Amino acid sequence: MTAADLARDRLAFPDFYGEDMLLPQGKTPAYLGQAVAILIYHEFARFRFAREKLQFNDAVIRYGAVTGPLRRDPWGAARFVRVGGRTPYDDDVFSCLKQGPVSATFDNHEPVWPKPARDGGIDAQGMYYANSITDELAHPPAEWLVLTRDYATQSGDTTALEPDNANGWYDADKQDLHLVVPTQSPQEVAEGAATMLERSRIGLKRLFLHPCFTVGYGSKDHCPMPYYGVIAALYGDGRPVRLANDRFDQFQAGLKRHQFGMRYTMAVERNTGQMQSFQANIVANGGGRANCSVALTMVGATSAESVYYFPKSDVAATAIASRALDCGSARGYGALESMTATELMVDEIADALGIDAIDLRLRNVLKTGMKNAQGAVPLGVQRAEAVLQQARAHPLWTGRAARKQAYDAAHPGKYYGVGFGSIQRRFGTGAEASLAKVELALDGRVTLSHSGTEIGTGASSSQAVACARWLGRPADALDMAVTDWPDLPVQTSGDPHTMSQADQNRLAQNPRWSPAYASASSASNSAYYFTHVTQEAARVVYLYGLWPAALAIWGSGSAQEVKPEDAQWRNESLTVEGREPLPLARLAHEAHARGLVVGAAVHGFNRWQWAEADFVVDGVLVHALVDGLSVRFGNGAGAAKQALSSTPNRYQVLDRRAVSFPPTQNNNVMIGYNTAVGTLTELAVDAASGKVALLRHHTIVECGNMLVPQLVSGQIQGATATGIGLALHEWLPLYEDGPGNGTWNFNRYHVPRGSDVAVWDQTAEVLPPLSKNEPPKGMAEVAGIPIMAAIVNAIAHATGHRFRTLPVTPDRILEVLA
């Protein structure tokens, strides 16, 4: 199939992905690696040998005249300006929260910022304060140290080991389309595929989507591959078609990591080490398709402050369009890049001031109640300070000078260094939604269905475990990535990130409506967001099923004497002092017999706070932090109750009574739930080869109450390995020599091996939770970030040279050691 076939049948990408799913004849490609045609073979061997003829064969595509690359406007640009009040707790003079971000126009494909005016519109005011920050940094007070540095991070591949693929078949008679796809965002694929077919000349009555357990690190989130799979299926002559990248294809066509360029200027008062002002210009190369480039770049911009409080800040960010490959939501999502640069700069400033690098961080760390660079106060207790204190006392840090002396003397030609990096990072996307259904069988077995997808992080295990809080045991059976929810109809419209408050208010009157349906598995969102809906569903079953069943067994008067919060699960029995412990199986049986709630399906939405609503369950007013709820009653329910159960699985869909959605203003301000992480690294640089040997590393994380400690430690180990790769090994050229040319594979893209990660000599600690009720927090994506700066800072300690471009390869080390 070529573009002509697609045009004939009116098949095109969903809007999110832009135009030219296949490059039309006669048109300049928008980017390297753009798809031109899909060839379908009916027999594997033919495919295999045809591939050998076609792959690496430049003559396969006939090129026309040289036009040069397209020049296009950036995908987006914005500027985040803040001038704080007298203290971090006072009202801001200007901030995103109070006024808003500054937006740009484009001239000759470059961003143009509005003219400054103190009393103008928001943009003009913002520029007035931005310029005042610029002027001050250009003519700083004598006691300020002002440092300007350029940083760059690499384009890269997320290198999920399972390459992108999509499988499908189309039954033309029934107009059924079946898709089997590994994706982080099954809901997005379901909606996108349906939309795509709706607009086409090809009929679709039913779409069957079978999402798979997979892995992506962002490359399978809002990824174009499933839509190519749809096309292949439609033109497969009724046969099942498998579209699967090999590794060369995956480098050539998989979503890439954005390359970042960052110019930072930071001012610090010399005597106190107090940070005064921060200005940044961030340019992220979004490549050929917009995808999530704007959102990711803005997250990068609003994360650049890292763990610090700045009285003044001005961060401009542009996501440019280029002929590089299209980029996706690669792990770290912009914050990885911008925070790493900050952590390198802070280390250099500490050096310049002669202050211990962790001390300097402690003097400036953002504490609970302080405003971030958008003028918002981050939610919850801020624990970066605790992480820093822990790191400062760690033996890797305290003994580093003596160890360097001893090591260097004992190993001529090797340079020892210790480095540190620390960040805090929001988890979640600011519009998190998911569904969960918890059901108790007659024998007490627990079944959990969830909209979240397992992407290797252990979300399925942790969600099963999360049931135990209310039901006394983990789920026995589990269904993840569920896209079909007949028991809980939820309608959605509009964009949760950009809708107006008025629109939200109007739409919310529909009791089935929510700003978003179901989130991709990304942004470390399972531990907190997925768990919330799982536990809300389980809580409803507990409070309106198990608890009344227990009271019934314990006998009259119990309801007055014991409260649900007095009860505890012990050995799968509900226990209250002075009462008979009741095994779950017995309670389940009782709840079923009495027609109590034995199943609950919920939909939750979070925009840095949960939507909440009232529901009437079996005559009782129930308040829950969800915006949709259906319940199922036990088999002993009377006819009246049974009549209410209208869904295929005999659920009663409840109309919410009073709903409160988080305000849309939360979109402007990255308030967020933060997780703080710090990593210490110890390494030796080999002057002969330029190679860096990582000797040890230690990571300190705070992430609330852990659901499954082994999963947390596994995520730290995996994420730090990714960080090591980005600090030292992994990179891709952006353009003609880059992966778009189809010749990249693991021979040139070095994914860290066991010998690269200090496999036997790494440690981690998780700070004790603040309380036993502190929710679990997302930490996987976060844990990989600080090690990058920690490594580069350790190389500075080792060699005296500060690298500002990643990765720090042996050749670059040799250059500076020579």
Applying CB under 8 A, does 134 fall inside the site for another protein?
no
CB closer to another protein out of 181 and 215: 215
Applying CB under 8 A, does 818 fall inside the site for another protein?
yes
Quote the crossing angle between the two packed helices 584-594 and 547-554, to the nearest 10°. Answer: 90
Applying CB under 8 A, does 340 fall inside the site for another protein?
no
Q: Minimum Å distance from CB 477 to another protein?
A: 18
Under DSSP, the state recorded for 553 is H
CB closer to another protein out of 284 and 366: 284
Q: Which residues pair with 79 in a beta bridge?
A: 102, 316
Which of 135, 143, 150, 561 forms a contact with another protein (CB under 8 A)? 150
* Mask for 458-487, x = binds another protein (CB under 8 A): x-----------------------------
| Tokens (6 digits) for 349 | 């400033």
* Mask for 700-719, x = binds another protein (CB under 8 A): --------x-xx-xx-xxxx
Task: Report d(CA 767, CA 387) in Å as an integer.
Answer: 8
Q: Minimum Å distance from CB 706 to another protein?
A: 13
CB closer to another protein out of 332 and 628: 332
Applying CB under 8 A, does 345 fall inside the site for another protein?
no
| Tokens (6 digits) for 28 | 């300049």
Applying CB under 8 A, does 56 fall inside the site for another protein?
yes
Q: Report strand pairing: 256-257 vs 241-244.
A: unpaired
Q: Minimum Å distance from CB 203 to another protein?
A: 32
CB closer to another protein out of 127 and 734: 734
Task: Report d(CA 348, CA 114) in Å as an integer.
Answer: 33
Contact 301, 265 (CB under 8 A): no
CB closer to another protein out of 577 and 811: 811
What ranges in 467-610 are assigned the alpha helix state H?
468-471, 501-507, 531-541, 547-554, 558-561, 584-594
| Nearest CA-CA partner of 230 in 279, 272, 189 | 189
Applying CB under 8 A, does 760 fall inside the site for another protein?
yes
Which of 81, 160, 598, 798 forms a contact with another protein (CB under 8 A)? 160
Task: Report d(CA 440, CA 38) in Å as an integer.
Answer: 47
Q: Which helix (H) or strand (E) holds 510?
A: none
Applying CB under 8 A, does 453 fall inside the site for another protein?
no
Cα→Cα distances 769→378, 466, 706, 773, Å: 18, 17, 8, 8
Which residue type does 690 have?
A: G
Q: Minimum Å distance from CB 181 to another protein?
A: 15
CB closer to another protein out of 584 and 732: 732
Contact 427, 528 (CB under 8 A): yes
3-class SS letters over 27-82: CCCCCCCCCCCCCCCCCHHHHHHHHHHHCCCHHHCCCCCCCCCCCCCCCEEEEEEE
Applying CB under 8 A, does 757 fall inside the site for another protein?
yes
Contact 205, 175 (CB under 8 A): yes
Which of 238, 369, 395, 413 forms a contact with another protein (CB under 8 A)? 413
**Binding span for another protein by CB under 8 A among 6-14, 95-103, 496-504, 746-754:** 746-754
Q: Minimum Å distance from CB 721 to another protein?
A: 3
Segment 564 to 583, residues that bind another protein, using CB under 8 A: none
**Binding span for another protein by CB under 8 A among 6-14, 268-276, 670-678, 759-767:** 759-767
Contact 347, 312 (CB under 8 A): no
Segment 391 to 410, residues that bind another protein, using CB under 8 A: none
Which of 66, 161, 402, 502 forms a contact with another protein (CB under 8 A)? 161
Applying CB under 8 A, does 747 fall inside the site for another protein?
yes
CB closer to another protein out of 307 and 719: 719
Q: Minimum Å distance from CB 325 to another protein?
A: 12
Applying CB under 8 A, does 110 fall inside the site for another protein?
yes
Contact 329, 222 (CB under 8 A): yes
Applying CB under 8 A, does 667 fall inside the site for another protein?
no
Contact 456, 215 (CB under 8 A): yes
Which of 302, 457, 652, 674 forms a contact with another protein (CB under 8 A)? 457
List for the chain the helix, strand, coil content (%; round to 5).
Answer: 30, 25, 45
CB closer to another protein out of 429 and 809: 809
Applying CB under 8 A, does 720 fall inside the site for another protein?
yes
| Nearest CA-CA partner of 704 in 673, 731, 666, 746 | 673
Applying CB under 8 A, does 162 fall inside the site for another protein?
yes
CB closer to another protein out of 747 and 773: 747
Applying CB under 8 A, does 52 fall inside the site for another protein?
yes
Sheet holding 206-212, edge to edge: 206-212, 176-182, 165-171, 241-244
**Binding span for another protein by CB under 8 A among 133-141, 289-297, 314-322, 582-590:** 314-322
Which of 64, 412, 555, 638 forms a contact with another protein (CB under 8 A)? 412
Contact 430, 497 (CB under 8 A): yes
Which residue type does 149 have?
A: R
Give the number of residues in contact with another protein, rule: CB under 8 A: 87
Segment 196 to 255, residues that bind another protein, using CB under 8 A: 213-215, 217, 246-248
Which residue type does 722 have?
A: T
Segment 774 to 813, residues that bind another protein, using CB under 8 A: 805, 809, 811-812
Give the contacts of 305 (CB within 8 A, at least 6 positions apart).
278, 313, 342, 366, 372, 373
Give the contacts of 556 (CB within 8 A, at least 6 positions apart).
none
Segment 253 to 292, residues that bind another protein, using CB under 8 A: 259-261, 263, 281, 283, 285
* Mask for 360-379, x = binds another protein (CB under 8 A): --------------------
Applying CB under 8 A, does 324 fall inside the site for another protein?
yes
Applying CB under 8 A, does 732 fall inside the site for another protein?
yes
Q: Minimum Å distance from CB 46 to another protein?
A: 7
Applying CB under 8 A, does 108 fall inside the site for another protein?
no
Task: Report d(CA 178, CA 175) in Å as an integer.
Answer: 10
**Binding span for another protein by CB under 8 A among 85-93, 121-129, 356-364, 738-746:** 738-746
